[in-house]
Structure formats: structure tokens, C-alpha cells
Amino acid sequence: MAPLGRALIVAGILLIVAGLLVTYVGRIPRLPGDIVIERPGLTVFIPLGWMVLISVVLTVLFAVLSRR
């Protein structure tokens, strides 16, 4: 259970950092691959670039943590 506990702690810290960035930085910058649909009275933002980036970072992080 120790590796799971460490992974949850790291995930929690990452969520806190992401929350602070969104709160204090404000607007999330757009990456290549993000989809933005703008119509009168409606804007839809689908952050595919961010999803891929976060997925790669978490995959590497968990791979490094699992080797211990």
C-alpha cells in the first residue's frame, strides 16, 4: 500500500498546484491541439493539448515512482 499512498500524495500535490495556478494566473494558455468553438453567445474550449501533456507527465512520474 505504500506506493499507492505515495502516488495519491503526489496526485494531491499536483492538483493543489494546478488549482493555485488556475486561481492566480487566471486564464489557461492554449496549446497546439486545443479545440475552441466560438459561436455568438457560446464558447466551447476542449483542451486536448493539455490533456496529452498532463498524461505524458503523469505517466513519466508514475513510472519513476514505481521503480522504487
Taking the C-alpha atoms of residue 42 and residue 47, their distance in angstroms, rounded to an integer, is 16
Contacts 24+ apart (CB under 8 A), 18-22: none
pLDDT in tens, 13-42: 989 988 887 788 767 778 888 888 999 999
For residue 68, what pLDDT is reported? 66
Residue 1 clears pLDDT 70, i.e. is over it: no
Q: pTM of the entire structure? A: 0.54
pLDDT in tens, 53-62: 889 988 998 8
